[in-house]
Amino acid sequence: MNTPIAIIGSGMAGLSAAHALTAAGLCVQLFDKSRGSGGRMASKRSEVGDLDLGAQYFTARDRHFVDIVQQWQENGWLAEWKPALYQSHGGQLSLSPDTQLRFIGVPRMSALTRNLLGELPATFACRITEVFRGEQHWHLVDATGQSHGPFSKVIVAVPAPQAAALLSAAPKLAASVASVAMEPVWAVALGFDKALDTPVEGCFVQDSPLDWLARNRSKPGRASRPDTWVLHATSAWSRQHIDLAPEAVIEQLRCAFAELIGCAVPEADFSLAHRWLYARPAHAHQWSALADADLGLYVCGDWCLSGRVEGAWLSGQEAARRLLEHREHNS
Ligand SMILES: Cc1cc2nc3c(=O)[nH]c(=O)nc-3n(C[C@H](O)[C@H](O)[C@H](O)COP(=O)(O)OP(=O)(O)OC[C@H]3O[C@@H](n4cnc5c(N)ncnc54)[C@H](O)[C@@H]3O)c2cc1C
Ligand SMILES: NC(=O)C1=CN([C@@H]2O[C@H](COP(=O)(O)OP(=O)(O)OC[C@H]3O[C@@H](n4cnc5c(N)ncnc54)[C@H](O)[C@@H]3O)[C@@H](O)[C@H]2O)CC=C1
């Protein structure tokens, strides 16, 4: 019997591992606490259209990732995003063009992970709280107390602080994962019925509560009206204001935006705030993936590498590769 492999987390890392394993003929079962796949590549549906509140775009530098990105682009799941890019230093806004290729899911970021999910077996709205090994197989328990299994192996593909809690079967692994700190990010979306009078479409920001801002309508496939923007606070500001009420976060970041954008910014006609508790690792690692292969427990995620979409995909590939390698040695 081909006992399935459980994958906890259906963000880019979990989906990447799932694809590699199914391509090798194995069965997988994905679990995610959210209602859909994508994790930090999620897009929020709202009355003003879809808003990419997490990952804004991604780049591809590793040659394997470059190849897969090309395939996704050929499938029509991705488009290149060529914004009018600016930077802001000490309140000075200046054009900052470059030749970097940047990709986005179309018509929303989450479309990419939704396409990657395809027909893979997945259970959503299912927060896994315990991962334990019986005599022969692994079992999972969710927040409602329901148990799932049996599974031949388990891949944990969630942010490090959430992964550590699921690794009590492998204390050494749990300790390494628990040592990884992840930083929060407040994201705010603003919508203006009358478009702002600025050529800015994306901006890297320094010396401000903001770290980044993007204009949605500059992204292929997005609605052009109203004029919606996504603002990301720095991790330092987000940490300091972690418990601030969303309305206060919106107001403070709207003011920071108005200060740097160089045109009149009226009250927003639409606004929302989203707090990412585990947005990015505090430091990059070079782990690729972690494992207790003899036990059959694997851990992957962006935080094992660069804290970027590319890192998440590479980490999922590596977890799958190590699982397949171990399986081959022991067959
Ligand atoms: C605000 C923000 C901006 C970003 N901007 C960029 C960018 O511009 N470019 C870039 O390359 N990267 C960016 N990133 C980083 C990028 O989004 C991540 O690197 C990547 O999406 C991480 O993928 P992952 O699969 O490792 O984790 P995640 O996407 O976090 O996936 C983990 C999944 O596990 C699920 N989960 C967690 N715990 C459990 C549990 N106990 N049971 C079941 N399911 C669980 C979650 O619901 C989630 O779906 C950004 C991230 C944020 C937050
Ligand atoms: N907010 C969050 O939680 C996270 C944000 N992430 C951001 O995701 C982006 C992805 O990184 P890469 O794929 O390497 O993308 P990239 O090569 O576009 O950017 C890397 C970094 O280089 C700088 N930079 C690049 N181009 C310019 C430019 N034209 N003018 C001025 N500065 C520039 C800028 O500081 C940027 O953060 C980066 O901006 C990260 O900061 C990554 C992970 C999490």
- pLDDT of res. 1: 54
The CA distance from 108 to 90, in Å, is 32
Count CA within 13 A, CB hemisphere, residue 177: 29
CB 96 less than 6 A from any atom of ligand 2:
yes
- pLDDT of res. 240: 98
The CA distance from 195 to 192, in Å, is 6
- pLDDT of res. 230: 98
**Residue that has been written with the tokens 């780049």 in this structure:** 59
How much distance in Å is there from the Cα of 169 to the middle of ligand 2? 37
- pLDDT of res. 210: 98
pLDDT in tens, 72-101: 999 999 999 999 999 999 999 999 999 999
- The answer to the question of whether 114 is labelled as a binding residue is no
How much distance in Å is there from the Cα of 157 to the middle of ligand 1? 9
pLDDT by 10-residue block (mean), the chain, 331 residues: 92 98 98 97 93 97 98 97 97 96 97 98 98 96 98 98 97 96 98 97 98 97 93 98 98 97 95 98 95 97 97 98 94 79
In terms of DSSP bridges, do strands 103-105 and 92-95 run parallel, antiparallel, or are they unpaired? unpaired
CB 204 less than 6 A from any atom of ligand 2:
yes
Name the CATH architecture for the domain at 57-108+182-281: Alpha-Beta Complex (3.90)
Q: What are the extents of the domains in the chain?
A: 5-41+113-179+285-329, 57-108+182-281
* 330 burial type by CB count under 10 A (0-12 exposed, 13-18 middle, 19+ buried): exposed
How much distance in Å is there from the Cα of 208 to the middle of ligand 1? 24
Cβ count within 10 A of residue 168: 12
Determine the longest span between alpha carbons in the chain, in angstroms: 67
Q: List helix spans (H) across 24-170.
A: 63-74, 110-117, 160-164
**Hey, which CATH number is domain 5-41+113-179+285-329, 3.50.50.60, 3.40.50.1860, 3.90.950.10, 3.10.20.880?**
3.50.50.60
**Residues contacting residue 177 through CB under 8 Å, at least 6 positions apart:** 160, 163, 164, 167, 290, 299
- The answer to the question of whether 56 is labelled as a binding residue is yes
Distances, alpha carbon 135 to alpha carbons 37, 54, 73, 74, 295, in Å: 31, 40, 45, 46, 11
CB 123 less than 6 A from any atom of ligand 2:
no
Of the candidates 176, 122, 195, which has an alpha carbon nearest to the alpha carbon of residue 300?
Answer: 176
Assess contact for 180 and 173: CB atoms under 8 A. no
**Residue that has been written with the tokens 């994508």 in this structure:** 38
pLDDT in tens, 98-120: 999 999 999 999 999 999 999 99
Beta strands in the chain (DSSP E): 5-8, 28-31, 43-46, 49-52, 78-80, 85-89, 92-95, 103-105, 122-123, 128-133, 138-142, 147-151, 153-156, 182-192, 202-205, 210-215, 227-233, 270-281, 290-292, 297-299
- The answer to the question of whether 67 is labelled as a binding residue is no
Assess contact for 87 and 116: CB atoms under 8 A. no
Assess contact for 19 and 65: CB atoms under 8 A. no
Q: For ligand 1, atom 27, name the residue with the nearest CA.
A: 11
Q: Is the ipTM of this complex over 0.95?
A: yes
